[in-house]
Chains A and B, each alone.
Chain A
Amino acid sequence: MTVIDKNLFDAVETELLRFTTAGSVDDGKSTLIGRLLVDTKGVFEDQLDAAKSVEDKKGAKGAHLALLTDGLQAEREQGITIDVAYRYFATPKRKFIIADTPGHEQYTRNMVTGASTAHLAIILIDARKGVLTQSRRHAYISRLLGIPHIVVAINKMDLVDYNEEVYDKIRQDFIDFYSKLDLAGGDVTFIPISALEGDMVVERGNKMDWYNGPTLLEKLESAPVEGKINAADFRFPVQYVSRPQTEALHDFRGYMGRIESGSVKVGDDITVLPSGLTSKVKGIVTWEGDLQEAWAPMSVTLTLEDERDISRGDMIVHTANQPRVEKEISTMLCWMHETPLQPGKKYLIKHATTTVKAMVTALVERIDVNTLEQIAAPSELKMNEIGRVSLKLLKPIACDAYADNRATGGFIVIDDFTNMTVGAGMIQ
């Protein structure tokens, strides 16, 4: 950031990329994030000094990189990452948000959380150990959550003499396993790195001339951001109905919400779901003035030609392009609470802007996140387990398959007695 780019002044050309890092401390995940922050000047001197003073006490080389990212007292004491932490850095090309998540199996729910908003996932593999069970788990979760770009960062290359053959073998092992995933696809990039020494992270270094691909930062700066959003299907969940009823706005009735996917123009024919009422878009109202067209992920206010009974929880869509409206859904579910999910139990689900009661009618199977084996009809789904579940809803919802549309295919499960968020679902 020592170069003052013109973007600093108008900020019109920088995009925002969100990525997640999966891996354990042993893989050098915290070191990698620390390296990215330090080499892009995403960390301030006083924060670096504080981390270095702890390193001096502990005496481990490079430990300050990891210490930069451990937020909670308990984490610093135990040297582990417990929860999802969010980090920020910028280059003249882009702004980045990192969802830093722990990699062990007992933190699958944290990984799922971090993955839910990411455009890109970095899967860290220790070059000395190769593709492990946890690498498979991370790849599976990344694909299950619909992350379009996957970077397999083969780390600790300094400990294997920057050997190309080691890299090639790990790459091939990963491809062999990955191609068998029924969720395979997306863009996968392999990068050999040393987070500790800095090779191929921000700087190329001079130890791996045999590698011609992008550095990690080059990949982060060039992966398309739009990939996360479905551009074809206009989906507008109504958040809030604005009726100011002031003198100047006596008859104003606007539907406030965020365009979750696709785009909308004034004059478009729309249908309101689940009721099926139809109308036309009269105006797209914003603070800056009325727009002719708006697209995801903009937050806007729509007005319609006709007065219709529309409230929070309804979804406005193009009449010619409608999602499913269903009361019974089949879904993948990641369970997130100590009290297991059981067939027959009732929960609340929050999907887009609607909250509805749901009953678990069947627990079809559990997926072993390590072997990807399917276990039919388990009796319950424990914390950090992922399974396929059938739900019956009290009221129908307008939804798409998660694989087609993250915004209208994802939902959270809330326990209506404790109010805890207990699960995350991806509609099939």
Chain B
Amino acid sequence: MTKKTLTHLQTLEAESIHIMREVVAEFRNPVMLYSIGKDSSVMLHLARKAFAPGPLPFSLLHVDTGYKFKEMYEFRDWYAKEVGAKLIVHRNEEAIAQGAHPLKLGVARCCGALKTKALLDALEAGGYDAAMGGARRDEERSRAKERIFSFRDEFGQWDPKSQRPELWDLYNCHVHEGESIRVFPISNWTEMDIWQYIKLENIPIVPLYYAKERPMVKRGNMLIPGDDPANLKEGEVAENVMCRFRTLGCSPCTGAVYSDATTIEEIVAESAIATRSERETRIIDHGSNSMEDKKKEGYF
């Protein structure tokens, strides 16, 4: 008889599946936030496993800013169709029409309008009482304190000081009308777990994660995509650099890293010896409390 244990990835997988089934069983109208990135890819894959052989019992919601990379939109539309998911795309059209851009509004205001407000509006429009998201606790220190089932008041806000205690795997899913729960089924996964799992399960990811020569601009420590002139500051010139993206966000605000990793095996190996955190390439996280402040306002 084989030893009846699970590997760490099997343990994490079983936990995530358990969480998603709790959501579907307990909530009236759940939705899964889909951001097209690697974490979303893993979360979606876990959801398919959780409800197999049946179909996904919820829609995917993509809160779009209009500034995602072209490859991300192509991947999103292909993959949603491939897995047979119903995809809802929501954009803050008003702000987009007014030309919201991080170089114009500043990062905080741009994110506030195109991400936080758009997300809150989309959740309200859909009447969702639970929204699953692919955030991980190892990403950022305020996330390390967030519950797997994270209560939001009727304004979608997070109050880190009055969170519900969360014991064993017993999740409190009770909310009043208008309130909701953000659920993070992959809370306990690390960046390394995500990459190992993508490799193990052959999960499709956006090609931007693989290294390739791309036109980039060096700005301080960051490599900023240089193919769109609107994202460049005066005097900046793009040059071809062998690089890849460790995380994917909006093209004006997401940096790449120098890399030769063109296969998933090479990405796993590179992640294993990485000495800088992945969120370092995300402009939104910089500043002393910025993620915590954003989350209090309703940011995902």
Which residue of B has the minimal Cβ distance to A424? Answer: B167
- CB distance A299 to B21 under 8 Å? yes
Would you call A131 an interface residue if the criterion is a C-beta within 8 Å of the partner chain's C-beta atoms?
no
Give the interface segment out of B50-58, B59-67, B90-98, B102-110: B50-58
- CB distance A83 to B193 under 8 Å? no
Q: Which of A15, A84, A117, A242 contacts B168 (CB 8 A)?
A: A117
Most buried by A among B142, B170, B176: B170
Count how many chain B residues have C-beta atoms less than 8 Å from C-beta atoms of the other chain: 68
Q: Which of A47, A95, A419, A424 contacts B165 (CB 8 A)?
A: A424
A90-B190 CB under 8 A given contacts A14-B8, A44-B275, A72-B145 = yes
Would you call A4 an interface residue if the criterion is a C-beta within 8 Å of the partner chain's C-beta atoms?
yes
Which residue of A has the minimal Cβ distance to B188? Answer: A97
- CB distance A420 to B164 under 8 Å? yes
- CB distance A257 to B21 under 8 Å? yes
- CB distance B275 to A263 under 8 Å? no
- CB distance A86 to B167 under 8 Å? no
A11-B272 CB under 8 A given contacts A72-B142, A74-B161, A287-B52 = no
Q: How large is the interface on A (under 10, 10 to 19, 20 to 34, 35 or more residues)?
A: 35 or more
- Give the residues in chain A near B28, CB-CB below 8 Å: none
Would you call A204 an interface residue if the criterion is a C-beta within 8 Å of the partner chain's C-beta atoms?
no
Would you call A178 an interface residue if the criterion is a C-beta within 8 Å of the partner chain's C-beta atoms?
no
- Give the residues in chain B near A411, CB-CB below 8 Å: 170
Would you call A60 an interface residue if the criterion is a C-beta within 8 Å of the partner chain's C-beta atoms?
no
- CB distance A15 to B160 under 8 Å? no
- CB distance A45 to B276 under 8 Å? yes
A47 to B138, CA, bound (A): 12
Would you call A46 an interface residue if the criterion is a C-beta within 8 Å of the partner chain's C-beta atoms?
yes
Taking CB atoms and an 8 Å cut-off, the chain B residues in 268-283 that contact chain A are: 268-269, 272-277, 280
- CB distance B145 to A84 under 8 Å? yes
- CB distance A242 to B51 under 8 Å? yes
- CB distance B172 to A15 under 8 Å? no
- CB distance A353 to B25 under 8 Å? yes
Which residue of A has the minimal Cβ distance to B293? Answer: A73
Q: A369-407 vs B: 1/0 string, CB under 8 Å?
A: 000000000000000000000000000000000000011
Taking CB atoms and an 8 Å cut-off, the chain B residues in 142-179 that contact chain A are: 142, 144-145, 160-161, 163-170, 172, 174-176
A371 to B228, CA, bound (A): 68
Q: Which of A14, A239, A312 contacts B7 (CB 8 A)?
A: A14
Give the interface segment out of B10-18, B69-77, B247-255: B10-18
Q: Which of A296, A299, A412 contacts B167 (CB 8 A)?
A: A412
- CB distance B54 to A246 under 8 Å? yes
- CB distance A88 to B265 under 8 Å? no
Would you call B202 an interface residue if the criterion is a C-beta within 8 Å of the partner chain's C-beta atoms?
no
Which residue of B has the minimal Cβ distance to A94? Answer: B8
- CB distance B172 to A414 under 8 Å? yes
- CB distance B168 to A286 under 8 Å? no
Most buried by B among A82, A86, A246, A285: A86
* B214 vs chain A, min Cβ distance (A): 23
A289 to B199, CA, bound (A): 19
A298-B14 CB under 8 A given contacts A90-B190, A242-B54 = yes
Would you call A231 an interface residue if the criterion is a C-beta within 8 Å of the partner chain's C-beta atoms?
yes
A9-B8 CB under 8 A given contacts A116-B168, A286-B49 = no
Between A and B, 10 residue pairs with Cβ closer than 8 Å are A1-B273, A15-B6, A71-B145, A83-B161, A83-B163, A258-B14, A312-B25, A353-B25, A416-B174, A420-B172
**5 tightest Cβ-Cβ pairs between the two chains A and B:** A244-B54, A44-B277, A16-B8, A299-B17, A419-B174
